[in-house]
Structure 1
Amino acid sequence: MEITGKRVLVTGGSSGIGLAIARVCLAKGAKVVITGRRPDPLATAVAELKASGSIWGVSADVGTATGRAATLKQALDALGGLDILVNNAGGVRAGRLETTSEADIEAMVAVDLLAPILLTRAALPALRASGDAVVVNVASGIALIGAPFYTTYAAVKAGLARFGEALRRELKGEGIHVLTAYPGGTDTPMMRSNRAGPELGFSREPASDVAEAIIAGIEAGAFEVIRGGETRAKMIAMNRDNPEAVDERFLGLKSVLEDAVKDHSAL
């Protein structure tokens, strides 16, 4: 796909990976709408991006039906149509399952899984009208290798990944492609309360690198974009071929990892 001239909607676009994706799309000549729940950071992001091209902001919570409806209506009004939908908005709460509140579990399901499914469903007529459209679902490396203390987050991100795979096959030959991105640890506001470092498998790369890889994947018609390099690839292979070895590796890190991620919350 050629990004120039495309009409792009990025949820969770006021910071982190979403903001970086918007920046790359604008640099390539796309028109972009970003969304965010908090009006002030959203306004700051839009002001920062204005010099780069055609940008609009929608202050809405895509985790709610009202927020999704407002997001799509305002995006279509601003853009005049839709070619690329980036389901990037998400939230996380780490910790042991039995100490994670029901409200936090429900919030992760609502924002990380239900919202992208329902927003994509609502956007399909506009995407179909494009004739050359893409849906990008930003999952997580944890969707590929389940990590302790991220049980619900792993579940919803893995669900998002399989949703994308199934939808790609459902829409094959109909002018809408679906790409799933699996970022690893990324230097974003969402990760500020996570104190785990590279020794615990949480190396962090700039959001700009993840965004560049995702846009390159869109341009190439890729099915997936997996970050983390050779180290991540080896872990994925081990998790498939010898999952007990991965279990043992996490067992050796478990107490330290639990302490490092116990305050990781961005909901």
Structure 2
Amino acid sequence: MSAVQLRGARVLITGASSGIGRALAIQLASEGAVLALAARRSTLLAELADEISAAGHTRPQVLSTDLAVRGAAAELGPRAISELGGGIDVLVNNAGSSLTGAQTRIADSDAARSVFETNVWAPLALTAAVIPAMRAAGRGMIVNVTSTIQAVPIPLLGYYAASKSALAQATRSLRLELAGTPIRVLEVVPGGTDTALRDIDELPWKGTAPKTLPPISPEAMAAAMVRAISRGNNRLVHPAYSLLPVELPIVGRLVATLAGARVDTLGALDPIDQLFHRKPGPETAR
């Protein structure tokens, strides 16, 4: 584990227009990082860049993109490297999207494929795009934001769970692939976080939704991420109690079974396409 110097570090954050991505951008800027912010909503990105600049920090580069479009991530990598002066020290794959609905209705539709494009293929493409510059510089960190839902297969959230599970496995494999290089790989596993991607409120519950622990704020999640990045950690699960289903899959399956019994899976549910801030957001999480 090697520390990462944040002052002057060049950081690309996807899904930066709201939620965890936005909070992370503000906190990294306060640490002296030089940022490139990517998301679909360019107006929100510009407002965030203005806020960071007004606080006396280096104004971030604003890079509007839709990572649900195939090829967008591969184009974003070189563009960000150029805007940041020829390199990237930290890539934060934070963008995320979700889709609530029955797999038997949604199948492999365009809406379903866009979830995997954003949550899986975009992070892999961006990583491949920036790794050569990191290896040439002799340093770098890839940060992939997954979710505790990788271990909690709740009905009607199968697309989000499967995509985050895929990204989690790819992240662990990438860490081993890069073990002989100076590049670090950090998996961030958010627990329940108060972002627009909290689709638990969209599920068709039988009666009232079950009580859950209060979600943490995006700012608290971002603060934990800043610490993990600066320390060069391999994994961050936050809050700490979220470790339970991740480390003990039987717990996650039990939670999913109990919660699933309260979801109206047989009702006339129309697919609900939730393509929120791509990361976020995600950002994020249960």
Asked whether the two chains share a fold, i.e. TM above 0.5, the reply is: yes
Determine if contact 2:12/2:88 at 8 Å carries over to the other structure.
yes
Q: Could you tell me which residue of structure 2 aligns to residue 254 of structure 1?
A: 263
Determine if contact 1:185/1:204 at 8 Å carries over to the other structure.
yes
Cα-Cα RMSD: 2.8
- The residue type paired with residue 250 of structure 1 is A
Q: Counterparts of 1:56-205 in structure 2 under 5 Å?
A: 56-80=61-85, 81-100=87-106, 102-191=109-198, 194-195=201-202, 199-201=210-212, 203-205=214-216
Structure 1 residues 103 and 65: alpha-carbon distance in aligned structure 2, compared to 1, 3 A threshold: closer
- The residue type paired with residue 158 of structure 2 is T
Q: Could you tell me which residue of structure 2 aligns to residue 39 of structure 1?
A: 42
Determine if contact 1:15/1:45 at 8 Å carries over to the other structure.
no
Determine if contact 1:184/1:202 at 8 Å carries over to the other structure.
no
What's the secondary structure of 1:180's corresponding residue?
A: strand
Structure 1 residues 14 and 73: alpha-carbon distance in aligned structure 2, compared to 1, 3 A threshold: same
Q: Could you tell me which residue of structure 2 aligns to residue 22 of structure 1?
A: 25
* Count of matched residue pairs: 264
Determine if contact 1:131/1:175 at 8 Å carries over to the other structure.
yes
Structure 1 residues 169 and 236: alpha-carbon distance in aligned structure 2, compared to 1, 3 A threshold: closer
Q: Distance in 2 between matches of 1:222 and 1:260?
A: 41
Percent identity over the alignment is 29
Q: Distance in 2 between matches of 1:106 and 1:65?
A: 10
Q: Distance in 2 between matches of 1:128 and 1:167?
A: 14
1:60 Cα offset (Å):
1.2
Q: Distance in 2 between matches of 1:186 and 1:95?
A: 21
- The residue type paired with residue 233 of structure 1 is L
Determine if contact 1:181/1:214 at 8 Å carries over to the other structure.
yes
1:202 Cα offset (Å):
6.7
- The residue type paired with residue 113 of structure 1 is V
- The residue type paired with residue 253 of structure 1 is R
Q: Could you tell me which residue of structure 1 aligns to residue 280 of structure 2?
A: none
Which consecutive aligned stretches of 4+ in structure 1 deviate over 4 angstroms post-superposition? 195-198, 258-264
Determine if contact 1:194/1:260 at 8 Å carries over to the other structure.
no
What's the secondary structure of 1:199's corresponding residue?
A: coil
1:67 Cα offset (Å):
2.6
Determine if contact 1:34/1:56 at 8 Å carries over to the other structure.
yes
- The residue type paired with residue 60 of structure 1 is T
Q: Could you tell me which residue of structure 1 aligns to residue 235 of structure 2?
A: 224
Determine if contact 2:106/2:112 at 8 Å carries over to the other structure.
yes
Determine if contact 1:10/1:33 at 8 Å carries over to the other structure.
yes
**Larger fraction in helix:** 1
In structure 1, runs of 5+ residues without a counterpart are none
- TM-score, length-scaled by structure 2: 0.82
- TM-score, length-scaled by structure 1: 0.87
Determine if contact 2:88/2:134 at 8 Å carries over to the other structure.
yes
- The residue type paired with residue 254 of structure 1 is V
| Structure ranking higher on relative contact order (CA contacts 8 Å, 6+ apart) | 2
1:138-185 CA distance string (max 9 Å, x none): 111111322221111111101101111111110013111101111122
